[in-house]
């Protein structure tokens, strides 16, 4: 099989996986720190990525190289560190997607670490529900202007029909599992 044909197949598989995850080319480009134009050219088989770039894209799409290149197989049910995708913002806050390709499922679980006095962006009202469980530290959950304090060992659940946001008012990092439906990240 010639290299051009292989790159066309890789590009097609990347495009299909990106769409399965509900991501735009721009969103994938942002996750992989690439340009939208490069993603477009790659999906069309017009450019050849370095191995490091291809592996990064595969990880950003919530899969592994072995799963990406596998032609068929059994459904994966258990996930570990090598399956996770982490994004850290400039303030050191972290979001870890703990289920690969969860964006294409009905719910999306994420492990969030908020630095002291850090916050997540405001979420506008949308259809769906959100659930969380605080593993360590404490968070302040705001729905509209109502504040709810949630500490380690406590959970929260709400319909996402009002403006909402989460921040860490404490002096140490807060870690929590956040599950949203439908996926929003």
Report pLDDT for 171.
Answer: 96
Exposed, middle or buried: residue 86 (CB in 10 Å: 0-12, 13-18, 19+)? middle
Picking from 118, 121, 60, 59, the residue whose alpha carbon sits closest to that of residue 92 is: 118
Q: Set out the domains of the chain in order of their start, with CATH numbers.
A: 3-69 (1.10.260.40), 81-181 (2.60.120.10)
The β-bridge partners of 140 are 149, 167
The DSSP bridge partners found for residue 123 are: 164
Question: Pick from 15, 35, 177: which is nearest to 108 by CA?
Answer: 177
- Rounded to two decimals, the pTM is 0.60
Check residue 74 and report its DSSP letter: P
What pLDDT is stored for residue 8 in this prediction? 81
pLDDT in tens, the chain (185 residues): 466 777 888 888 898 889 888 889 999 999 899 999 999 999 888 888 998 999 999 999 988 888 888 765 567 788 888 888 888 999 999 999 898 776 667 888 999 999 999 999 999 898 889 999 999 999 999 999 999 999 999 999 999 999 999 999 999 999 999 998 877 65
| Omega prior to 182 cis, within 30 of 0 | yes
Quote the pLDDT of residue 65. 87
pLDDT score of 22: 86
Beta strands in the chain (DSSP E): 85-88, 94-97, 108-114, 129-136, 138-143, 146-151, 155-159, 164-167, 174-181
Determine whether 4 is exposed, middle or buried from the number of CB atoms within 10 Å of its CB (0-12, 13-18, 19+): exposed
Position 71 scores a pLDDT of 62
The reported pLDDT for the residue numbered 185 is 56
């Amino acid at each position: 099989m010639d290299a051009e044909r292989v790159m066309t197949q890789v590009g097609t598989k990347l495009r299909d996986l990106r769409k399965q995850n509900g991501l735009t080319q721009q969103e994938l480009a942002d996750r992989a720190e690439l340009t939208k134009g490069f993603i477009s050219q790659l999906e069309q088989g017009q450019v050849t990525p370095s191995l490091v770039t291809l592996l990064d894209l595969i990880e950003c799409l919530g899969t592994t190289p072995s799963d990406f290149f596998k032609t068929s197989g059994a459904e994966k049910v258990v996930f570990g560190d090598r399956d996770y995708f982490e994004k850290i913002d400039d303030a050191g806050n972290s979001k870890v997607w703990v289920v690969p390709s969860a964006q294409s499922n009905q719910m999306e679980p994420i492990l969030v670490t908020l630095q002291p006095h850090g916050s997540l962006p405001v979420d506008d009202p949308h259809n769906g529900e959100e659930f969380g469980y605080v593993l360590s530290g404490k968070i302040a959950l705001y729905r509209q202007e109502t504040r709810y304090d949630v500490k380690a060992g406590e959970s929260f659940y709400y319909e996402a029909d009002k403006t909402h946001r989460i921040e860490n008012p404490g002096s140490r990092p807060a870690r929590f599992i956040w599950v949203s439906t439908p996926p929003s990240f």
